Structure 1
């Protein structure tokens, strides 16, 4: 489920800079992050400005993000959901980075003849 994200333009600019510098080593891209998201659920707690986003990933793992505002006069449900989603999505980066590095380590060990 890909959907526009308020911070995505910054990611696009960074991706363009990475490519312009010819940095081609294995890495995680914004598209790979978005491809992991298979389900999105949101909950706003009654009588509050607190919104929780639950993003379920392809392997069944889930990450959460939150949003809240101090004054209910400033609350907007759409903005609350977008901010909570962005905060949850940011948590996917370190998970995928760890998985990529772990895979690189396994691949390196195999090339050297070590099983792990």
Structure 2
């Protein structure tokens, strides 16, 4: 959970906003597994050494995070940096994971809204 999520969660709780909602814990609870790789890993991993010599250098800085949800659905996040000199693998993983988690918020938000809608029809 990011610092921003923690602050927002604390504010929600301090204001006693208790209607059905999602929490960072809810989002984390649906994640079964996670995988990280760069675009270079994807290209080189699928090619023999001779063919891999032609990959574009910029693939080294494009990081992917694949979150596998408990129901088997997969969500992909990505990150990249404009200046290759700024590339840091750990930061790339964190940013890609946050991107993927944001997509889970959307999916889970839709499911909750649909559930609340169905209860009221």
Q: Report the CA distance between 1:9 and its aligned residue.
A: 1.1
How do 1:1-116 and structure 2 match up within 5 A? 5=1, 8-46=2-40, 47=57, 48-109=60-121
Between Structure 1 and Structure 2, which shows a larger proportion of helix residues?
Answer: 2
Q: Report the CA distance between 1:19 and its aligned residue.
A: 1.1
Q: Report the CA distance between 1:108 and its aligned residue.
A: 2.4
Runs of 5+ in structure 1 lacking a partner? 110-116
Matched residue, 2:54: none
Runs of 5+ in structure 2 lacking a partner? 41-56
Q: What TM-score results when the alignment is normalised by the length of structure 1? A: 0.83
Q: What TM-score results when the alignment is normalised by the length of structure 2? A: 0.80
Give the aligned CA root-mean-square deviation in angstroms. 1.2
Flag the structure with larger Rg.
2
Matched residue, 2:45: none
- Inter-partner Cα distance in structure 2 for 1:81 and 1:29: 22
**What is the count of residue pairs matched by the alignment?**
103
